[in-house]
Amino acid sequence: TTGVPKGAGLTHSNFVSNVMALDAWGMFEHEKGQKPEKIRHGGFHTYLGVLPWYHSFGLTVAMLSACFSGSSLVCIPDPRAGNPPFTEVLKAVQKYRPTLMPAVPTIFVAFANHSQLDQYDLSSIIGCFSGGAPLPPEVCRQFEEKTGSIIFEGYGLSETTPVASANPANTQNRKIGSIGFPVPDTDFKIVDIDTGLEELPQGEDGEIAVSGPQVMQGYWNKPEETEAVFREIDGKRFFLTGDIGHMDEEGYFIITDRKKDMVLVGGFNVYPREVEDILFTHPKVAIAAVAGIPDEKRGEIVKAYIQLKPGEEATKEEFIDFCKENMAGYKQPREIEFRDAIPVSNVGKVLRRVLRDEEVQKQSG
């Protein structure tokens, strides 16, 4: 979803270790008021399968985790089905009473903004695992407010089978806007962007490097690409993720953005996620995507693509004023474009690369 396809070589032990780490990590309040405990095995849980099995997130966190715990799994081939879209999956939640729902942020957006949400009973869901893309804090707040469920965000890549870190699965210890802590047997380091060898101080942004039993063997038949993303640090093999982030004062890890998505505006680094998180706080926004587009004077400028909530109308000037009030000048989008739909992958990840490519084609054409 982020470039030229590469095969991540994952072994049986990669998958087993990741499923076992998730099983050890997740502590849920299975009944109201009771002490949180590990995921119950033997049929207590039902997973809602809104993610495709050919993606590592759906494969590990839904299908394999359901198998490991002896849980039921409700298969949703097309979560967008129905009129309006996403109606059929709401019907499935009411009918099958799932307890756990791994999903990507665009799914939570669709649920929270569904015009008929109040007509369906979603009270069976006790925990939602968000991954695949950064979860805007405002999306988390809206979804929890409207459904009564809890979202805990994690982080990973296909190369890490995929889960590398996760928030605690309770409101007392999870931190909205963070990716939590490394899962069991996993180490994180924040290293310099240029060499990937120098460990940076706590609080400073750098590239996230991951070591653990879930890390891939390498890219299939691509030895040079494999060598480029691995470093040996303190005697351990670390995978360079391409994601920029830091550890905060409480030890939680925060993703700033993808290294490749960073926008350089007049010498200043702008991370699209920071701008997107602010745009999501606007009451009319359903989905926001930000990308850097070429500009003769500044090198790059920030452009925002906005999908409004159903029935809403807005002007570019309205959003330009909103950005002026809520973010530093160099971060403000110089262009605003409204779209009926933002391009997303089959998993639901916003494809900034597609937006950038469209702009380059426009300018060259």
Q: Which two tokens stand for residue 210?
A: 């991951």
Check: CB of residue 254 under 8 Å from CB of residue 177: yes
pLDDT over threshold 70, residue 11:
yes
Residue 201: other Cβ atoms inside 10 A? 9
Check: CB of residue 209 under 8 Å from CB of residue 231: yes
Burial tier of 251 (Cβ tally within 10 Å: 0-12, 13-18, 19+): exposed
Q: Which positions ≥6 away from 350 have C-beta within 8 Å?
A: 106, 133, 287, 289, 342, 343, 344
Q: In degrees rounded to 5, what are phi and psi of residue 263?
A: -105, 130
As a whole number, the mean pLDDT across the chain is 93
Q: What is the pLDDT of residues 262-287, one digit of tens each?
A: 888 877 888 898 999 999 999 999 99
Q: What is the pLDDT of residue 3?
A: 57
Collapsed DSSP state (helix, strand, coil) of residue 159:
helix
Q: In degrees rounded to 5, what are phi and psi of residue 162?
A: -110, -10
Q: What is the pLDDT of residue 33?
A: 83
What whole-number percentage of the chain has pLDDT above 90? 77
Q: What is the pLDDT of residues 107-154, one digit of tens each?
A: 999 999 999 999 999 999 999 999 988 888 999 999 999 888 999 999
pLDDT over threshold 80, residue 4:
no
Domains of the chain plus CATH, in order, are: 12-182 (3.40.50.980), 187-257 (2.30.38.10), 262-364 (3.30.300.30)
Q: What is the pLDDT of residues 154-211, one digit of tens each?
A: 999 999 999 999 999 888 899 999 999 999 999 999 999 999 999 999 999 999 999 9
Q: Which residue has the higher pLDDT, 246 or 350?
A: 246
Q: What is the pLDDT of residues 19-58, one digit of tens each?
A: 999 999 999 989 888 899 999 999 999 999 999 888 899 9
The DSSP 8-state label assigned to residue 97 in this structure reads -
Buried b (16+ CB within 10 A) or exposed e, 93-102: beeebbbbbb
Q: What is the pLDDT of residue 313?
A: 96
Q: How far apart are CA 241 and CA 258, in angstroms?
A: 9
Q: What is the pLDDT of residues 75-85, one digit of tens each?
A: 999 999 999 99
Average of per-residue pLDDT across 65-92 = 96
* Whole-model pTM over 0.85: no
**Lowest mean pLDDT segment, chosen from 214-228, 247-261, 269-283, 290-304:** 290-304
Q: What is the pLDDT of residue 77?
A: 93
